[in-house]
Amino acid sequence: MKNCYKCQSEIQESFKFCPNCGSNQTELACPSCKYKNEPNSKFCQECGSNLKETKKPKAKPKVEIIEQPIPEFGITVEFKYSTSQTFDFAVEEAMKFSTFQQIGEDKKAIYRVNVTDDQIETLEPLLENLKGWRNRKVYHNGEKVLWDSMFSHQWCYGQRKASYKPELYCFGYENNYDYNLWGCIQTRLAFREHSELFTYGKWLNTKGDWEFDKERISHTLEKNLFQYRFCPAMNLELVKDVLLAFPDKVNPSKDDDWKFIKNYGSQDGLKITEKSSFGYVEEYYVNGAAPASMKKFLTQISKKMTRKLPNGIIE
């Protein structure tokens, strides 16, 4: 027989718990010195260690992500883990680049590739798998830029590759020959009679001398093409060449190759007074000058250019 450590009731030696108060009768081994203490002890009778202290589980070691500087040159595409179904495909495509980097592990990993500006087309398969992602970034020459400002050309360039005649697509081949000598349909300054292109200028006098505003044309081209400047098919030197070959001044009153652009419903511009074929006087206002024959005009410009245009643009 023995006495309970807590209530002192007499109990059997083999009892692990007191039948009267329910207290534990098992001796407590000190975690430090292994001395066997009475069950109700709070501190070790041998070394004084706290017997009630519970050990905290060891925290998992944190994976340290060592930041890698963004390359100072070229285009750098960076992305993180995504629940998208295309994540594995994106990683697979990224690993094909010799510049591929994986920084960190598992879901905290950062994936990065870098290419030169003239290699942007090689990114197409990777970009296809990153569509709609949030965890993606792009840098140009070390500076973070907006995704769309770098890759706005994707959809249009995709249309070009799928075109029947890709080499003519950017010149307006699939827009009912909406001629575009600039070499990019995104200029939104097509070579057609009612294009704004032929209204950018001013009348020098009342005799019909019209001067094209090449500075305004250049500004509009630069503004409209800015977000497509990284398109693999873009040729800014061709744009400059066309503008250089564009006429400075014309006069539809004297030159049969040109005609006035009537300003219907408005009295802005130059007032023209002439006799109609029926003998009565006709008055109207004009706000620009357009070629009488667009095909002939384009042929004249192409002959003045230093760069040769692809065959089939002017038909």
152: nearest Cα among 118, 186, 183: 186
CA distances from residue 275 to 209, 272, 281, 282 in whole angstroms, order as listed: 20, 10, 4, 6
Q: Is residue 160 part of a domain?
A: no
Q: What contacts 108, CB < 8 A, 6 or more positions away?
A: 63, 65, 80, 81
| The pLDDT of residue 5 | 66
Residue 97 and residue 177 in one domain = no
| The pLDDT of residue 177 | 55
Residue 131 and residue 237 in one domain = no
255: nearest Cα among 223, 227, 224, 296: 296
Tens digits of pLDDT across the chain (315 residues): 677 767 777 777 777 777 777 777 777 778 788 777 777 778 888 888 887 764 555 565 555 556 689 999 999 999 999 999 999 999 999 999 999 999 999 899 999 999 999 999 999 999 999 999 999 999 999 999 999 999 999 999 999 999 999 999 999 887 765 778 999 999 999 998 889 999 999 999 999 999 999 999 999 999 999 999 999 999 999 999 999 999 999 999 999 999 999 987 778 889 988 777 777 788 889 999 999 999 999 999 999 999 888 888 876
Residue 192 and residue 264 in one domain = yes
CA distances from residue 292 to 54, 259, 300 in whole angstroms, order as listed: 95, 6, 13
Residue 87 and residue 190 in one domain = no
Residue count (the chain): 315
| The pLDDT of residue 56 | 53
Give the residue numbers spanning the domain of 79: 75-151
Q: Tell me, what CATH number does 91's domain have?
A: 3.30.70
What total of structural domains would you count in the chain? Answer: 3
Residue 184 and residue 268 in one domain = yes
Residue 146 and residue 169 in one domain = no
Residue 228 and residue 133 in one domain = no
Q: Is residue 311 part of a domain?
A: no
Residue 204 and residue 261 in one domain = yes
Alpha helices in 144-232 (DSSP H): 147-151, 154-162, 166-169, 214-225
Cα(195)–Cα(178) distance, rounded to whole angstroms? 10
- Side-chain-side CA neighbours of 67 within 13 Å: the count stands at 2
Q: What six digits make up the tokens of 10? A: 């007499």
Cα(108)–Cα(205) distance, rounded to whole angstroms? 69
Q: Is residue 60 part of a domain?
A: no
Residue 297 and residue 171 in one domain = yes
Q: Is residue 7 part of a domain?
A: yes
Q: CA 115, 121, 127, 128: dihedral to nearest 10 degrees?
A: -160
At 284, give phi and psi (nearest 5°): -160, 165
| The pLDDT of residue 58 | 58
Residue 244 and residue 299 in one domain = yes
Q: Is residue 99 part of a domain?
A: yes
Q: What six digits make up the tokens of 197? A: 């292109």
Strand partners, 211: 202, 249
| The pLDDT of residue 182 | 94
Q: Is residue 159 part of a domain?
A: no
| The pLDDT of residue 300 | 94
Provide the residue type at 161 as one letter. K
Q: Is residue 312 part of a domain?
A: no
Residue 278 and residue 195 in one domain = yes
Residue 197 and residue 242 in one domain = yes
Q: Is residue 51 part of a domain?
A: no
Full-model pTM = 0.70
Cα(270)–Cα(261) distance, rounded to whole angstroms? 10
